[in-house]
Structure 1
Amino acid sequence: MSVAIETTAATGTSRRPTITDTTLLQQSLIMVKRNLIHTKRMPEMLSDVTIQPIMFVLLFAYVFGASISPAPGYGYKEWLLPGIMAQTITFASFVVATGITADLDKGIIDRFRSLPIARSSVLIGRSLAGLLHSSIGIGVMALTGLAIGWRIHTNVGKAIAAFALILLWGFAMVWFGILVGSLMRSVEGVNGVMFSTMFPITFLANTFAPTANMPTWLRVTAEWNPISSLTQAMRELWGNGPNATASSQWPLQHSVIMTIVWSLALAALIAPFALRAYNRRTAN
């Protein structure tokens, strides 16, 4: 709902506010705009999707690139970009979690509850803003990759499909962010939980190094990691790496479909717990 307050010039008094019905989509977009305005006023909030992606691409490409050979016929720089993009979109959960915890801690959510709006619009707006935030990082990485030699060698359809998989995985990670943000009582707590979970998960995969030379138990764990499926799918769709071998675990041999399955399954599993935690937190 939107409210317009009219003031009578002669008396200086305000008339009864005029309330206009708005849809859930309109309310959600207003919440997205609110979060983007915060970013505009504090541009340092973009450092994690501007400076950090460039730093990661350059460090890994030139420091590790000289010592890692991913596969015959493929350079490390092109092989690396999908892995870093997978890590970046996974961190969308970090942005959502810290945002929700900060709003809860400052009492902003209580103010939203007093307004004639759908409660879900707050979560939808925060989620969309988090995906937009992380998408900036994906764009910055793509531009940086192009500057150092990364290219997409397939057709437009496959290129778009890979970016769609990134957003789908980001959607699942948003629910994890909502869950953590609703459970934690401070931004510091969110930082501790997210760093201790997200970093190991993103590194225990095929994101930065091939799994072929890992010990058997570690290789199996890494190849069943959903982030490995996403990374492998992007490499195949963009032509940045070879198809999975017969010795690879099943998720890598069917990386595209498994990325879709992992994303939808995790979202379906985490969403009920996230909503319950959020409702419980905002009910107090």
Structure 2
Amino acid sequence: MTALTAPASRAGRLRWTLTDGLTLIGRELSRLRQEPGELIGALIFPATMVVLFGYVFGSAITVPGGGNYREYLMPGLFAMVTFTATMAVTLRVATDASRGVMDRFRSMPVARSAVPFGQTGAEILSGVLGLAVMAAAGLLVGWRAHGGVWPTAEAFLLLALMRYALSWAGCYLGLVVRNEQTADQLIPLVFPVTMLSNSFVPTGGMPTVLQVIADWNPVSALTAACRDLFGNPGAPADGAGLAWPLAHPVAATLGWSALLLAVFVPLSVRTYQRRGR
């Protein structure tokens, strides 16, 4: 195709978008091969968190109802890394925008929605690799998934789905910020969101206001869903007396993911298109 005119049919436009999106995913993966330090850092960070939190917190915190703290911790770390990965997409998109890469894409016969699709698609592929490294580190420190093969697979699929949904939020934020220095300064803002949850400690001992926030935090729902599916300590027993997201964590996580995709997919595509006008 040599012009920016989109195909007339809906099927043709969809095929055009998917083809260009896959090409841009390949571009992102190729960039990671050329800059391996970014990929190595992204893989080392989860493994470091496992060792640091597992042994530092593990010596001081008692799991409610008993159990191995590292098994209690791992679902929380999976959720934490899933949410912090949002800023990696934000930084990459903002860097491309500030360096004129987005403007170059707009001057080429590339489907408009394919550019955000390529950014988010590359993120989910690197995210799956990061989850594998983190799971291996967890196994080394004593974490085990006791729920069985299918529930374990469901837990990892939930993590991947949430990561993909969050990558669209990161893509939108990067398109809005359009400055890599500003995006880099926003990274620490993610940590309060992940810490104010049930990832590392039960929410029952928090002050009432903070407990309500933590219970309805999507990080807490994802953590509780993984504990339930992995069969790890801290999983909701019967849901009695718990906030709805913690009593129904899988449904809550699916709901949060669907909401994020419904909001940020169209926002990202529309923002990218408007930047070119």
Q: Which structure has the greater CA radius of gyration?
A: 1
Superimposed CA distance per residue, residues 163-214 of structure 1 (whole angstroms, 9 cap, x where no aligned partner): 1111111122112111210111311111222322x11111110111111211
For the 8 Å contact 2:216–2:245, the answer to whether it is kept is yes
Structure 1 runs of 4+ aligned residues shifted over 6 Å read none
Query: Which of 76, 79, 83 does residue 90 from structure 1 map onto?
Result: 83
Matches within 5 A, 1:227-266: 227-244=219-236, 245-266=239-260
The AA in structure 2 aligned to 1:201 is: V
Matches within 5 A, 1:140-155: 140-155=133-148
CA positional deviation for 1:108: 1.3
Query: Which of 143, 151, 162 does residue 155 from structure 2 map onto?
Result: 162
Superimposed CA distance per residue, residues 131-155 of structure 1 (whole angstroms, 9 cap, x where no aligned partner): 1222222111100001111111012
The AA in structure 2 aligned to 1:229 is: A
- Structure 1 residue runs without a partner (length 5+): 3-21
Match of 2:209 in 1: 217
Structure 2 residue 144 is matched with structure 1 residue 171: no
CA RMSD across the alignment: 1.8
Cα gap change, 1:266 to 1:25, in 2 (>3 Å): closer
Q: Whole-Å Cα distance in 2 between the matches of residues 145 and 166 of structure 1?
A: 16
Match of 1:278 in 2: 272
Q: Which secondary structure state, in structure 1, belongs to the residue aligned with residue 92 of structure 2? A: helix
Cα gap change, 1:34 to 1:101, in 2 (>3 Å): same
Query: Which of 22, 26, 31 does residue 33 from structure 1 map onto?
Result: 26
Q: Whole-Å Cα distance in 2 between the matches of residues 142 and 158 of structure 1?
A: 15
Q: Which secondary structure state, in structure 1, belongs to the residue aligned with residue 199 of structure 2? A: coil
CA positional deviation for 1:83: 0.9
- Structure 2 residue runs without a partner (length 5+): 3-14
Structure 2 residue 87 is matched with structure 1 residue 63: no
Q: Which secondary structure state, in structure 2, belongs to the residue aligned with residue 212 of structure 1? A: helix
% identical equivalent positions: 39
Structure possessing the higher relative contact order (Cα contacts under 8 Å, 6 or more residues apart): 2
Q: How many equivalent residue pairs?
A: 264
Match of 2:174 in 1: 181
Match of 2:184 in 1: 191
The AA in structure 1 aligned to 2:83 is: T
For the 8 Å contact 1:243–1:253, the answer to whether it is kept is no
The AA in structure 2 aligned to 1:41 is: Q
For the 8 Å contact 1:178–1:278, the answer to whether it is kept is no
Match of 2:41 in 1: 48
Match of 2:11 in 1: none
Q: Whole-Å Cα distance in 2 between the matches of residues 259 and 171 of structure 1?
A: 13
